[in-house]
Structure 1
Amino acid sequence: MIKLKNKVFKTVSAICLSFAGFLSAQVNYYDLDHDNLQDEVTLESNLVTIHFGNKKTDSIELPEITALSNARIQYSNPYEIMIHYSGDRVLYGAVNFLYKKSWYVKNVNFYNPCQECEDQNIKILTKNINLPVKNINYATFEIDSKGFKSLNFFDHEGIIQSYGNLKKLYTDLSAYPLLADYFNETVLPDFKKKYPLSQKNVDDYNNIAFALLNNGNQKVAIELLTQIISKFPNRTVTYLNLADSYWNIGEKDKAKQHYNKYISLMKSQKKDLRKVPVYVYTRTK
């Protein structure tokens, strides 16, 4: 039935599934093939083993899923099982396996990791695979506690549509580097359309840009910060963030220009100069 030999997986990078609090195998019983015989599905470590009636089969070795817990088996449709998993910070997902002469990975679901969204089960994307398990490139399924490493699992429209306000978006951009990476130029038009810059949300704009620059997404951070300065030219902290972004990408002349503007505004607005980071003075020399 399921014929997955060890040699198939020798060509694949180490495959590991770590379950916190997972001390014994999960055993579920379904009639997967609708032959009125009970089929046994066992999940243990990183292996799923299927027994169709009285016929014992080999095991499906799962894709690499690390730092996740609470994996569980669920019957979905005839000849189909689903492996649910969850991790820290409200990360949800599921891998669907379909049997048709051999086992296939049907699709992978990834759910919005937004901690504060009203509906925490908003699905960002279902990625259809439909390939035999033995032919899968397991790098596609690499998952860590922050989410899928493959950016193909994110839908940029889903990112914007999933958030009711900018504070929630900032929270997740700060917490999920992968989400920050994918918040790129393609996302910006939808973002600006849904959240036009105003006096009311300028703090949130700045915070989102700050989260992006801290996660290495300097280009989009620079665009947002430049937009803020063009509309609010006396916003002191924005010059500091913009200078940091330019410095991070090696444009030191532009960085020095904005560091100096930041210091000048701090002085003219009579703000506490002790709050100026020490590195600012070093970088302006």
Structure 2
Amino acid sequence: MLILGTEELRIAESALKEYFPQSIKVYGCLFNLNREKPHNLEVLVDSWPDFKTLICKPQRKSVQDREGVFNIYSVFSKDKDNLQKLLEETGVVDWSTFALFGGIEIGHVDMMRELAVSKNASSKIRSVTHVMMLRDVKHLPRLPSESNASHMLSSLDESHAELVNKTWSYGGTQISYRSVKNYILNFPNFCILDECGSPVAWILLYQHCALGLLYTLPEHRRKGYARVLVTVMCKHLLSQGYPVYCFIEEDNEASYRLFKSLGFEEDPDYRAVWFELNCP
């Protein structure tokens, strides 16, 4: 097990481009690490420079946001046996406490389950998702400059964190509030304001660069706000060199249709899984 330093992280980011979509979440983590965004991660590899497995894991458990408290891991591996060997090494995973492997390749799940049993850890799949990517701005629709949505387009600030937190499906706590505030303060976001200047719809970016927290207040739905926000966010991200992708849960048909209609593509044979250990 090796911990990557500053120069190695830049090299690894470039190397991971070859393995999309399997590597996209780890790539997103490294993208922000290499641009000095706030983080609580260390990056482990089995060997260097010819690595087979790369794991992003929390560096300090004392961080009081979801990324710290939830003990979230992001994993990319070209070799399931190599991944298992690295996970078995002392200090990589604490098998006695809660951990969430976010966006792990579905083909690794059986190995993860067997490994959890051998470590006397309970495990379960939280969700199975499509991994959808947008590679070219030309697939996005043009937004009329005179549209009401365009005139009301803005960005969130810290004062909006509580509103976003209470509507987030994984929010509603002080821990998630601190994560939302971090997303708002340090990563791109867009919102649509009503006549009083209050947000009625918004989209944010996770620390691993995935689009997320897309939400419209119920009384403002069916106005095309989600389409506007995704389009504006994607154009901004592509212009800044960000990867543009999202995870859509398999039962979320409305979001799947929206992103497909905007030119997002997926590998039909690939799924990513949110896999939990020792769920409380």
Do the structures match in fold with TM over 0.5? no
For the aligned pair, the TM-score class normalised by the smaller chain equals under 0.3
TM-score normalised to structure 2 length: 0.23
Higher relative contact order (CA 8 A, sep 6+): 2
TM-score (norm 1): 0.22
Which of 1 and 2 has greater Rg?
Answer: 1
